[in-house]
Amino acid sequence: MSPYDLLPRFKAQYDANNQEFSISGVVRPQAIDELGPSIALLRDAIGHVRGVLYVNVRRLTQMNNAAFHSFSRIIIDACRARPDLKFVVITSSVVGWTSRKFGRLSAIEPNITVEEYDTEFYPGQGFLEEGGFVPILRTQTKLTWRHERAILPRHGMRSGIVMADICCGIGDFAVLAQKEFQPSRIVALDHSISSLNYARRVMREFDIRGIEYTYGDASEMLLDEAQFDLVTCRHSLQIFNRPELILKELYRICKPGGRVYITNEKNSHCLGEPRAESIRWTYNEVAKLFGHFEMDVELGPKSRRYLIEAGFEDIRVETFMVTNLDGDPQDFADVIAAWADVYAGEMATRRGDGPEFVARFRQGFEDHIFAALHPKGYTGWPIWVASGRRPQ
């Protein structure tokens, strides 16, 4: 028996509380008999639900036509036998074929609807994925790279490794890592199509090789398990409402003995002189604002706990402070200006903040910029770096 035979190929389960039948993995049976228990589970679920049955195929990597027909027939027959029952099939835009294939079912039975799930999974991420945040990310990477290029080798970065950069954004970190450390292969994944298009354009224009940009959901990636020596995920756990799900996936794709490297902030610790009080107040409010959208930009110091709880060993944690003295102070000021645009702009508006609050909130950013550009000023933005080794 090969290791292949030992791997569970698919899993079906029913969650009665949520009236959700889910099936995941690779479902390619030769005969329908192989699906017996899963089909029985679906039939049983249909027999017990009232109103809506959710059919979750978000993590269904593959399903052959034989299996698709079999499951579809049960759902279609149930629609005909019980017109009171509705089915909502939840697909993922990440798994390309599922929306196309399952989408056909709604043309057969109007009581079947098909929804792509990903965008609603991360309540606040819309602010950060499309549009306004791209300039922030570019300048941020420029500032943090000065530090990280020295830090990364202490966390498993070296030439020739196979690495993944999850939540790669516009891909600038992957490009810098490629140039500096020459890993043999980089897979860079993100959930923003516009960011990936930008990254691919940069790669084409500058004839960069060795980076594969891929669209994906960090909490359920199509990437195979145990294939990367180093998995990086920067400034991202803090903007997911369930970071433990992402860490589970980072662990899964990391080779045993390889490392997962994460960076996160503690926004309330951003500082500046002069005008320290105003700056402190505003960054405390930043943390609360993100909290409102279920994002924890105070996550930095919690990194060690998250890594331990995800099963990593040999945890290494360090911090660095990006300051206005790192190169051109204008770069630091530009980052703050970009933060102000999004935080005191769209995010505050979306939360329903009044003009008085927004004015004070914005003032703190302006004071931070003032401090950054002041000839005697000092401003800081602290970052927590942490990595853990996947046990052998």
- Nearer residue to other proteins within complex by CB, 94 or 167: 94
Q: For residues 244 and 309, is the Cβ–Cβ distance under 8 A?
A: yes
Which part of the chain contacts other proteins (CB under 8 A), choosing from 10-18, 133-141, 210-218, 250-258? 210-218
Contacts with other proteins, 27-46, as mask; x by CB under 8 A: -x-x-x--------------
Backbone angles phi, psi at 314, to 5 degrees: 50, 55
Is 288 strand, coil or helix? helix
Size of the site for other proteins (CB under 8 A): 42
Give, as ranges, the residues between 167 and 196 that touch other proteins (CB under 8 A). 187, 189, 193, 196
Distance of CA 27 to the CA centre of its chain: 26
**φ, ψ at 36 (rounded to 5°):** -40, -60
Q: Quick one: which of 48, 104, 146, 154 contacts other proteins (CB under 8 A)? A: 104
Where do we find the tokens 């399952």?
102
Which parts of 277-336 interact with other proteins (CB under 8 A)?
none
Q: Which residue number, 253 or 369, has a Cβ lying nearer to other proteins?
A: 253
Q: Which of 15, 18, 44, 64 binds other proteins (CB under 8 A)?
A: 64
Q: Which span sits near other proteins by CB under 8 A: 26-34, 311-319, 364-372, 376-384?
A: 26-34
Q: What is the C-alpha separation between 327 and 323, in angstroms, rounded?
A: 9
Of the candidate residues 15, 40, 44, 69, the single one contacting other proteins (CB under 8 A): 69
Q: Which residues are CB-contacts of 172 (< 8 A; sequence separation ≥ 6)? A: 137, 138, 141, 142, 199, 202
222: its two tokens: 């199509």
Tokens matching residue 51? 């109103």
Supply the minimum distance, in Å, between the C-beta of residue 273 and other proteins.
Answer: 46
- Rounded to whole angstroms, the Cα distance separating 75 from 83 reads 12
Cα-based torsion angle of the residue sequence 35, 37, 41, 44 in order, rounded to the nearest 10 degrees: 110
17 near other proteins (CB under 8 A): no
Write out the residues near other proteins by the rule CB under 8 A. 4-5, 26, 28, 30, 32, 61-62, 64-66, 68-70, 72-73, 76, 93-97, 100-101, 104-105, 107-109, 187, 189, 193, 196, 200, 212-216, 221-223
